[in-house]
């Protein structure tokens, strides 16, 4: 729930990946210096068209000729048609999927430079070896040293529900914001809402939900843990189990259901967490408050807005309201004494020109509640309101370890 109060007013149509008849340039063709920092999603261009991995050249039909499959002509190709070539042999050019074109005067064959072929091979090698998901080049299993070589020391270290810590990194002013959880100094979980995500399937921040589901299939409807089976169906995100890692894609309904956040967690880590909430502690409660604060500012940076300043008085007001709701089992902006958010801010000595409140209940942790607020119009408007300057966050747990969250925004 949210509330706000104003006090003042190329024409190469080619058959793609070869099946069966395939030729690849060898690694010896890669020039000195290796493949550099390729990650497998780059494209190599040759005369205005993409040079596909495995492609060794192209043929242009200069006089009508036949397309062959299994020693049978299946189609007459018109002059001007252009096809990628993946193999040579037996007097034919292999153009993918088992199809061939006779090597005679009716076609013209061309090859790219050695450097282009080497570059395409580098992309193919990187794609084969790349992690399922990387964030600014960081993948599950990477070392703390690799992360800190790029970011320096973490800006904040706070407890998480996995019994580890979220360590928050950015490269100045929440640029390339990244949350990393380490297990024995190896990345075991990571999250970002910044456009620094790359995957083997070409999915990242800004990818449409329909594309994610076309590439990954239907999301999980439940997960099995040691203590129970948990239903997890939700239109706002999709959860997948890929090579022993849970990958969650969060979808922004106000941007055509495009990915606006990605969370990756080792399956073993998730399996060890009690239920979905973990174990409530005072350290975890305080951790969620600061994690939510950082997540808000990372989102504001993406939208070209200034970061908010942490406000201890507002945090005390927010915490008091979350505790009241958790203890007395209600969920409302107005407490049981009839006090509104603005009454409660004033009671904590806060005067304001404009103020707003977001509350939530039951989301698994700071990341999930932040994403839920971003996908609800009124809450999102508070998070991204350009004239707010201060924020306090308060979290409390009920007797079932379920968290209540409150955010108090204002401008003095």
3-44 pLDDT, tens digit per residue, is 444 433 222 222 222 223 333 333 333 333 467 666 566 789
The tokens describing 343, both together, are 């009454």
Residue 302, φ and ψ in degrees, nearest 5: -60, -30
224-269 pLDDT, tens digit per residue, is 887 788 888 788 999 999 989 999 999 999 999 999 999 999 999 9
Please tell me the distance from the alpha carbon of residue 97 to that of residue 202, in angstroms, as a whole number. 23
pLDDT score at 107: 96
Angle formed at CA 109 by CA 104 and CA 110, multiple of 5 degrees: 165
pLDDT at 130 over 90: no
Strand partners, 82: 60
Residues 6+ apart with CB under 8 A from 134: 39, 197, 198, 199
Please tell me the distance from the alpha carbon of residue 195 to that of residue 96, in angstroms, as a whole number. 34
146-178 pLDDT, tens digit per residue, is 999 999 999 999 999 999 999 999 999 999 999
**Alpha helices (H) in 219-277, listed in sequence order:** 267-272
The torsion defined by the Cα of 122, 127, 128 and 129, in degrees rounded to 10, comes to 90
The tokens describing 45, both together, are 């261009």
Please tell me the distance from the alpha carbon of residue 384 to that of residue 179, in angstroms, as a whole number. 21
pLDDT score at 37: 62
pLDDT score at 10: 24
Please tell me the distance from the alpha carbon of residue 336 to that of residue 339, in angstroms, as a whole number. 7
Higher pLDDT pick, 215 / 20? 215
63-92 pLDDT, tens digit per residue, is 999 999 888 999 999 999 999 998 888 899
The tokens describing 371, both together, are 């994403």
Helical (H) or strand (E) element with 124: helix 114-129
Angle formed at CA 151 by CA 150 and CA 152, multiple of 5 degrees: 110
């Amino acid at each position: 729930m949210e509330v706000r109060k104003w006090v003042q007013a190329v024409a190469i149509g080619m058959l793609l990946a070869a099946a069966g008849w395939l030729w690849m340039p060898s690694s010896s063709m890669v020039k000195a210096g290796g493949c550099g920092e390729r990650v497998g999603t780059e494209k190599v261009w040759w005369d205005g068209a993409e040079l596909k991995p495995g492609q060794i050249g192209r043929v242009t039909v200069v006089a009508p000729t036949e397309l062959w499959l299994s020693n049978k002509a299946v189609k007459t190709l018109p002059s001007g048609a252009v096809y990628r070539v993946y193999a040579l042999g037996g007097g034919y050019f292999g153009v993918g999927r088992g199809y061939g074109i006779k090597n005679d005067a009716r076609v013209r064959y061309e090859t790219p430079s050695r450097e282009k072929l080497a570059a395409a091979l580098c992309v193919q090698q990187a794609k084969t070896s790349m992690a399922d998901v990387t964030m600014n080049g960081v993948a599950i299993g990477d070392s703390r040293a690799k992360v800190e070589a790029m970011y320096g020391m973490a800006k904040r270290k706070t407890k998480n529900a996995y019994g580890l810590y979220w360590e928050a990194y950015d490269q100045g002013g929440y640029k390339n914001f990244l949350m990393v959880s380490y297990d024995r100094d190896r990345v075991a979980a990571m999250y970002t809402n910044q456009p620094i995500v790359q995957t083997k399937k070409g999915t990242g921040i800004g990818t449409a939900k329909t594309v994610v589901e076309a590439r990954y299939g239907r999301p999980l409807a439940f997960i099995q843990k040691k203590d129970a089976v948990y239903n997890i169906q939700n239109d706002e995100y999709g959860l997948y189990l890929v090579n022993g890692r849970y990958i969650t894609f969060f979808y922004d309904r106000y941007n055509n259901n495009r990915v606006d956040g990605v969370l990756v967690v080792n399956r073993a880590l998730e399996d060890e967490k009690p239920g979905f909430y973990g174990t409530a502690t005072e350290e975890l409660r305080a951790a969620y408050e600061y994690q939510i604060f950082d997540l808000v500012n990372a989102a504001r940076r993406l939208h070209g807005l200034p970061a908010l300043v942490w406000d201890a008085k507002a945090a005390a007001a927010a915490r008091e309201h979350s505790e009241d709701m958790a203890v007395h089992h209600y969920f409302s902006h107005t407490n049981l004494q009839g006090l509104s958010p603005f009454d409660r801010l004033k009671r904590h000595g806060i005067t304001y020109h404009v103020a707003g409140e977001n509350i939530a209940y039951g989301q698994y942790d700071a990341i999930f509640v932040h994403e839920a607020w971003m996908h609800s119009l009124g809450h999102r408007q508070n998070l991204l309101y350009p004239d707010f300057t201060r924020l306090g966050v308060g979290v409390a747990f009920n007797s079932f370890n379920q968290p209540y969250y409150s955010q108090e925004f204002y401008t003095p």
